[in-house]
Amino acid sequence: MEDPIETRNSNLSTSMCSYENLPNHEVAIVMVPFPAQGHLNQLLQLSCLISSSYDLPVYYVGSATHNRQALLRANALNPLDIAKIHFHDIPLPEFASPPPDFNALSKFPLHHQPLWDASLLLRKSIASFLRDISSKSRRVIVVHDYFMSYNVQDVSSFPNAESYIFNCISVITLYCSLCLFSGKSIQLGEELLKKLPPLEGAVPDEVKNFMDFQSPYVDIKSGDIHNTSKVIEGEFLDLLAQVESKQQWAIGPILPNERDMEDPIETRNSNLSTSMCSYENLPNHEVAIVMVPFPAQGHLNQLLQLSCLISSSYDLPVYYVGSATHNRQALLRANALNPLDIAKIHFHDIPLPEFASPPPDFNALSKFPLHH
C-alpha cells in the first residue's frame, strides 16, 4: 500500500544531509525531538544529562531552524555539556506560519498545525542518518518524541538499533489520556478522580488526528522514558505499566538544579588554582583577548555578549576574568547566546574577598541599587 506521506515527500531533497564523515562508535545516542519548544527543550536537557554523565556521543537531529531554537532558548543548562552534543540539521520543507487566533474557542496552539504537517516529511532524512550511524556503531539508541513515531519507524530495519519514546507530559496525564482514548476505566481513588479536571474536549480533534496517525508506529519502541520521579508518580507509573505492554522508566527530573550547575567553571579549569592565581599552564598565543567585566549583571552580560561575538567570528582565544561567583552568574543568566560560542570562552576565576550583602532599601529616595 502506498504511503501518502512518502508520496508527498518524494520531492524533498536530502542531498544536504551528508553524513559520510560521522566517526565510528561503540554506542551512539540519537535524539529526535518534535519541533515545538517544550519538546525540543526536554530532549536537549536529556542530551545534556547523558553528555555530562557518560562518555557516549549524543546526536540531536532536527531542522536547522529548530536545532538553533533549542540552542538559543536553552535554560539552566551548562554550555560545556551542550558543546559535547552533535547537532545535525536535516531539511524541512517550507510551511505556512499563520499568527495565533486569540478569539479561538480552544487555547491550544493550532496555528502551528502547518509545522506539524511539515514535520511528517522528515522520515527519509532521519532514515538516511540512522542508516549511516548504524553502519558505524555497534549499537544505536534512538530516543524520540511520541509525535515523531512515524518519522523514526525505519529504526526497525536496522538490527543494531532500538528506539524509546520520551514522554514530555506527566505520567498521570499520560495514563488518564490512554484510558480515555482506549475506553478503559481510570483506576484512581474516588477522591482523586473528583480532583481531576475533565479531559473531554481538552485535546482538539486536530491533535487527536495527529496522534492517531502516529499510533501504528508506536509499537516498534522498546519502552518509554518519562521525565518524572518514582517518588512523585510511582503509583501512576505502576498503573501505566498495566495498560502499556513495554517497559517504563522514570528518570526525571532531568533539568539540572543549582547544585548540578555549581561548578561549571572549576570543571573546565580544574588545573587552575584560584587561591594562588597560578596560570603557569596557560597555552601560548599569538593574540589573546582578555575581558574584565565589572561585577554587576548588566556589565557581566554585555562583555559576555562581546566575548561570544569574538569567539564565534574569529579564531582568537577569549579569557573572561572575574570572581567565581560572578563568572557563574554570567553563565547562568546568559540570554539569547549560543552555548557553543560560550563554550569556546576561557573563564578564569580570581579570588574575591568576603563582603556584606544587605537587602535593597525599598523606601530609599534613590532607586539606584546602592545596596551593592
Residue numbers annotated as active site: 39, 145
Give the three-class secondary structure for 318: strand
Indicate left, alpha or beta for 336 from its phi (over 0: left) and psi (-120 to 50: alpha). Answer: left
Residue 62 corresponds to which cell in the numbers above? 532536527
Cα–Cα nearest to 139, from 17, 57, 19: 57
**Phi/psi at 150 (5° precision):** -60, -45
Composition of the chain by helix, strand, coil, percent to 5: 40, 15, 45
Rounded to whole angstroms, the Cα distance separating 6 from 8 reads: 5
Q: At what angle do helices 297-313 and 324-332 cross, to 10 degrees?
A: 70
- The overall longest dimension of the chain from CA atoms, in Å, is 77
Give me the amino acid identity at 353. P
Rounded to whole angstroms, the Cα distance separating 79 from 84 reads: 9
Cα–Cα nearest to 27, from 171, 149, 143, 150: 143
Rounded to whole angstroms, the Cα distance separating 315 from 295 reads: 27
The vertex-269 CA angle with 338 and 285, nearest 5°, equals: 80
Q: State the sign of the Cα–Cα–Cα–Cα dihedral 3, 203, 109, 59.
A: negative
State the alpha helices, DSSP H only, in the chain.
Answer: 4-9, 37-53, 64-72, 79-82, 113-119, 123-135, 171-182, 190-195, 205-214, 230-243, 264-268, 297-313, 324-332, 339-342
Q: State the sign of the Cα–Cα–Cα–Cα dihedral 221, 249, 60, 136.
A: negative
Rounded to whole angstroms, the Cα distance separating 176 from 181 reads: 9
DSSP count for the chain of H helices, then E strands: 14, 10
